[in-house]
Structure 1
Amino acid sequence: MESSARDDTGARRLDFRILGPVEVHDLGTGARIVPSGAKQRALLAALVVRAGEVLSVDRLVAELWGDAPPTAAANALQAHVARLRRLLGSGAGRSGRQWIDTYPVGYLLRLGRATTDAQRFHRLSAEGRAVSASDPDHAAELLRTALELWRGPALEGSGHGPICLVEADRLEETRLRALEARYEAALRGTANGGTIDELERLTAAHPLRERFHELLMAALYRSGRHTEALGVYERARRQLRDELGAEPGPALRGRMESILHHSPAAVGQETALLDLGAEITRLRAQVEHLTREQEALVRRFDLLNTPSTAATV
């Protein structure tokens, strides 16, 4: 049983999950590791979000306590790190290395061969976007699988520190883009049952996100519900005007005009507008991938230039 709980190096096989409440799954035993208390969750969340990067004591203190740190905050942080290390256990089996390393300026989480749900989400989303033009049904399925990894708001219950707040906002934006790409692929493909109802819910939940309104208009038009499609435009226009003092953007206006004139661009299968949307989402995925690679290279460079101390507190 012990061998199944570790990989071929003897390391414990963990999956760090941040797309919802922060927790860790032991892939060998199936056990869930849930930090007790908001400070422990915030610490783990920040370390996972910035895995491979040395987080200074000052940044972590600000993440856990904001503008009201306790007396001897560095010692209090050290105690939280020690408890988190015990919770995670040994990270590298025979080498005995811990998951969390200590450096002169702070702490670092090494993922090694561990996985994260955010990594899987980004990979599946990128794969879905990459095949959206050539195989929209497969793209929609890949994106659906990516979105099913979400168990709630990103980093839920991890406090309100700057690291987690920024990352939670970023992840939520990538989730919404994945939703847009999924329904765009569904409109291009054949498996689009329930698309209208789902897009209705999304436009209600995100009334200022024009892309959802545009996709709903296309779905309604394809179903022969032309008047309702134009009604979606009017509803979106009022909401944008009332909330932002703005008029709909060119894509949403273009969708409305194509419906008014019964242009081929009004509907899904081979439309210029959807092809343009697919290209935009593909380019966004490329930019996100290159940005993550650049951030990883910067972290590695910083790590190589930061002397390590012993991995014990």
Structure 2
Amino acid sequence: MEFAAPADGPYDFRILGPVEVHDRRTGSWIAPPGPKQRILLAALVVRAGEVLTADRLVDELWGDVPPMAAANALQAHVARLRRLLQAPGEGGQDRIATHPMGYLLRPGRTATDAQQFHRLSAEGRDALAADPARAAAVLRRALDLWRGPALEDCGRGAICAREADRLEELRLTTLETLYEAGLRVPGVRPGELAAELERLTADHPTHERFYDLLMTALHRAGRRTEALGVYERARRRLLSELGVEPGPALRGRMETILRNAPAGPPNPGAPGGPRDPGPADEALPAFSPDAAALLDLGTEIARLRRHVETLSRAHQELARRIDAQLGSSR
């Protein structure tokens, strides 16, 4: 996907995946030939307009094991990168400027897919309440910009790692908003969204919001038992990997389904409360004896769970005392 670029330079930069440079004069994509030059370019693009000191760049490229002549090696990599980005007829105006303290990429000469992603993601989130169909379309355009993990193959230096984590967090937020928008669009089949959300919970097994959205989609599709099973699956995974119980939003979603209340889209600002129920809600069956039985079952499960937790704590305390007694007898 193409993205907007400033008129004062012929290059665009892509960092939502492997780092690449797009030459708009020829239409070709250029990849820096070596890993160090990719990391250097990525750091300069991420911090465009900011002077990065030589020490900071050396740390980004080599970490705790820099070469003996690190400053000279850095200068050589900068020179190669300059040649790669030098446009004919520019009169020696380097995109990478030398500063007494280090180097910087001139801010007016950077257009990145990350900037476009930020813009589209914000536009889609803003459109969610008034026009969920448009929001979904814009958010899918934003996500289509991704070609792999952000700043792929750019090491784990502080600059690139922090930016990659920040972009990944925004990608997940954008995905959440996309599926919330999908649940609001009239005529969209929640069962189809559920299949996509199943894959997301598999890819991100400790991300609670995807479980919340999946439970909502299944509930709207009339698959209440499956939705409750998703909660239990999420609970087991969170306990085994993070040692925590599901948060209030996910618990609230489970309680809503047990009561068979209308399945509004998950609300990140409130603990699992429904918000603006869509047309699919009217198709859900009314509260029934089966739902009452499920509610009673859920209450009994919660009681037994508390009992098990009490026994577990007692067992741990007993084990601690036994260990202490054995230690004092040695």
Pairing 1:184–2:185 present: no
Alignment correspondent of 2:135: 139
2:95 corresponds to which residue?
99
**2:118 alignment partner in structure 1:** 122
Describe the superposition over 1:8-48 as per-residue Cα deviations: whole angstroms up to 9, x where unpaired: 6xx44211100000011112321111101110100001001
Call closer, same or farther: CA 1:239–1:7 in 2, change over 3 Å.
Answer: closer
Q: Which residue of 2 aligns with 1:231?
A: 229
Answer whether contact 1:12 1:26 (CA < 8 A) is retained.
no
TM-score relative to the length of structure 2: 0.76
Which SS does the other structure have where 2:42 is aligned?
helix
Contact 1:15 1:24 (C-alpha < 8 Å) held by counterparts: yes
Residue number among 19, 23, 29 corresponding to 2:26 in the alignment: 29
- Asked if 2 retains the 8 angstrom alpha-carbon contact of 1:219 and 1:267, the reply is no
Q: Which residue of 2 aligns with 1:163?
A: 159
Distance in 1 (CA, whole Å) between partners of 2:214 and 2:253 is 10
- 1:113, distance to aligned residue in structure 2 (A): 4.5
Corresponding residue for residue 252 of structure 1 = 250
C-alpha displacement of 1:76: 0.8
Other-structure match for 1:79? 76
Q: Shift in Å at residue 166 of structure 1?
A: 1.2
In 1, the alpha carbon distance for the partners of 2:158 and 2:14 equals 19
1:185-233 Cα offsets, whole Å, 9 max, x none, are 1111136453111100000111111000000000001111111011101
SS of the residue 1:227 aligns to: helix
Q: Relative to 1, partners in 2 of residues 1:51 and 1:68: Cα closer, same or farther, differing over 3 Å?
A: same
Distance in 2, Cα, partners of 1:18 & 1:123: 15
Higher Cα radius of gyration: 2
Is 1:210 aligned with 2:208? yes
The answer to which of 218-227 and 93-102 deviates more is: 93-102
Partner of 2:63: 66
User: 1:190 and 1:144 mapped to 2: Cα distance?
Assistant: 18
Contact 2:264 2:276 in 1 (8 A): no
Structure 2 residue aligned with 1:283:
none
Alpha-carbon deviations, 1:216-273, whole Å to 9, x = none? 0000011111110111011101111122221111110111111111112x23499953
Secondary structure of 2:274's aligned partner: helix
d(CA) in 1 for partners of 2:241 and 2:266?
33
Contact (CA 8 Å) 2:213, 2:266: kept in 1 or not?
no
Decide whether aligned partners of structure 1 residues 124 and 38 sit closer, same or farther in structure 2, where only a CA change above 3 A counts.
same
Partner of 2:324: none
4+ aligned runs moved over 2 Å, structure 1:
93-96, 190-194, 266-276
Question: Structure 1 residues 234 and 47 mapped into 2: Cα distance closer, same or farther (>3 Å)?
Answer: same
Gaps of 5+ in 1: 1-5, 277-313
Match of 1:220 in 2: 218
Number of positions where the alignment pairs a residue of Structure 1 with one of Structure 2? 267
Q: Distance in 2 between matches of 1:141 and 1:183?
A: 11
CA distance in 2, matches of 1:275, 1:54: 48
1:104-161: per-residue Cα shift (whole Å, max 9, x none)? Answer: 1100001315310000000000000001011011101111100000000000011221
Q: Answer whether contact 2:60 2:158 (CA < 8 A) is retained.
A: yes
Output the CA distance in 1 between the equivalents of 2:179 and 2:164: 23
Q: Match of 1:149, as an amino acid?
A: L
Write the distance in 2 (CA, Å) between the matches of 1:231 and 1:55.
51
Query: CA, structure 1 residues 248+171, in 2 after alignment: closer, same or farther (shift >3 Å)?
Result: same
What is the one-letter code of the residue matched to 2:203? A
- Higher mean Cα deviation, 133-142 or 65-74? 65-74
**Cα-Cα RMSD:** 2.2
Moved more, 18-27 or 187-196: 187-196
Of the two structures, which has the highest relative contact order with CA contacts closer than 8 Å and spacing of 6 or more? 1
The alpha carbon displacement at 1:87 in A equals: 0.1
- Kindly provide the amino acid, as one letter, of the partner of residue 107 in structure 2: L
Calculate percent identity across the aligned residue pairs: 66
| Secondary structure at the counterpart of residue 255 of structure 1 | helix
